[in-house]
């Protein structure tokens, strides 16, 4: 018995350590929502198989397998596409990596474009960590946005907020994995698990692969530049995302924007257009960021508004 007992204890300890080492390091967040589909992503400390459980009640009932992409070390980013949804419907969901499950969350699908339902959006940017105020983004997300919406309006957060725009500088260094996990996702998790958000890259993203690995943005930009520029329709609003970083201040992007605006002029279901990009045309706060490219974007938008009335 004396030789047998330590073996049992060692096996038990190994199993416990192996199980406890697994964790979801980025809680599930919402991307690219339509009236009948949504993308749900998260990151785990390991690459065990990932699933999404979802349904119209907290008993869930449906399962979707997620694809995975190695991010840093043994960690993986998971992406699952939930389809066959109904417009303006609340769904509950949770994710799992191996035998580790997230808490239960919810999302509400957008309305059909032709319904032209009212929507609310938040635009915010430059939440890269300030070492003098390291938790400022957490404060803005929770004490600012969430507190304002939940105390001003009746109903849940995602009943009163349909999307979030983030025009760049999500982190201080886009090549630093820890900053994505700790400074961006973890500080904004109480928003991102319930409301889809749509970012474009700023200069601090450094064109890093992490930006494109972490987000599922519309794939309707120019060939060869997918997710650098794109557009997204929500109700009667068209959101246009642009990449104003130096290497992407290209004629192809301006030509694409011009063609999208021309098509939008005759689209009877679109009444409003928002364009987001990071660099200013003229700024008193950040003169080194001034760029003529943004001036050309502004000129195209001004012509669009004056000619279309939108």
> Two tokens at 250?
């290209």
Contact 95, 102 (CB under 8 A): yes
Q: Sign (positive/negative) of CA torsion 212, 195, 181, 200?
A: positive
Contact 198, 241 (CB under 8 A): yes
Annotate 260-269 with b (16+ C-beta within 10 A) or e (fewer).
Answer: bbeebeebee
Element of type H or E holding 213: helix 209-214
pTM (predicted TM-score): 0.92
pLDDT reported for residue 217: 98
Contact 116, 235 (CB under 8 A): yes
Per-residue pLDDT of the chain (310 residues; tens, 9 = 90+): 344 343 333 333 333 334 445 799 999 999 999 999 999 999 999 999 999 999 999 999 999 999 999 999 999 999 999 999 999 999 999 999 999 999 999 999 999 999 999 999 999 999 999 999 999 999 999 999 999 999 999 999 999 999 999 999 999 999 999 999 999 999 999 999 999 999 999 999 999 999 999 999 999 999 999 999 999 999 999 999 999 999 999 999 999 999 999 999 999 999 999 999 999 999 998 999 999 999 999 999 999 999 999 9
CA distance 194 to 31: 10
In DSSP terms, 95 is beta-bridged to 52
Residue 302: name the closest of 273, 282, 271, 268 by CA: 273
- Lookup result for tokens 């992503």: 41
> Two tokens at 24?
């979801």
CA distance 294 to 272: 20
pLDDT reported for residue 22: 73
pLDDT reported for residue 16: 38
CA distance 91 to 37: 11
Query: H/E/C letters for each residue in 62-84?
Result: EEEEEEEEECCCCCEEEEEEEEC
CA distance 170 to 204: 8
pLDDT reported for residue 94: 98
């Amino acid at each position: 018995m004396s030789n047998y007992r330590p073996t049992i204890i060692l096996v038990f300890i190994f199993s416990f350590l192996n199980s406890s080492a697994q964790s979801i390091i980025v809680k599930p967040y919402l991307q690219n929502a339509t009236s009948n589909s949504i993308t749900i992503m998260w990151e785990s400390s390991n690459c065990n198989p990932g699933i999404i459980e979802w349904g119209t009640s907290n008993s869930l009932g449906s399962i979707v397998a997620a694809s995975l992409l190695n991010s840093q070390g043994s960690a993986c980013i998971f992406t699952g596409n939930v389809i066959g949804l109904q417009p303006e419907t609340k769904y509950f969901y949770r994710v799992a990596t191996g035998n580790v499950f997230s808490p239960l969350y919810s999302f509400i699908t957008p309305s059909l474009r032709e319904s032209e339902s009212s929507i609310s959006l938040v635009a915010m940017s430059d939440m890269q960590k300030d070492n003098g105020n390291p938790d400022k983004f957490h404060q803005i997300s929770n004490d600012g946005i969430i507190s304002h919406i939940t105390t001003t309006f009746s109903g849940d957060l995602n009943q009163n907020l349909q999307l979030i725009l983030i025009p760049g500088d999500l982190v201080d260094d886009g090549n630093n994995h820890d900053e994505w996990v700790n400074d961006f996702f973890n500080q904004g998790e109480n928003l991102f698990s319930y409301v889809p958000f749509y970012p474009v890259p700023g200069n601090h993203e450094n064109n890093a692969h992490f930006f494109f690995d972490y987000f599922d943005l519309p794939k309707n930009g120019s060939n060869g530049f997918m997710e650098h520029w794109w557009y997204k329709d929500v109700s009667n609003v068209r959101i246009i995302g642009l990449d104003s970083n130096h290497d992407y201040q290209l004629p192809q992007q301006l030509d694409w924007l011009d063609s999208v605006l021309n098509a939008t002029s005759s689209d009877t279901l679109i009444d409003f257009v928002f364009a987001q990009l990071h660099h200013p045309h003229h700024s008193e706060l950040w003169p080194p960021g001034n760029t003529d490219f943004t001036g050309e974007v502004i000129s195209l938008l001004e012509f669009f508004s004056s000619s279309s009335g939108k």
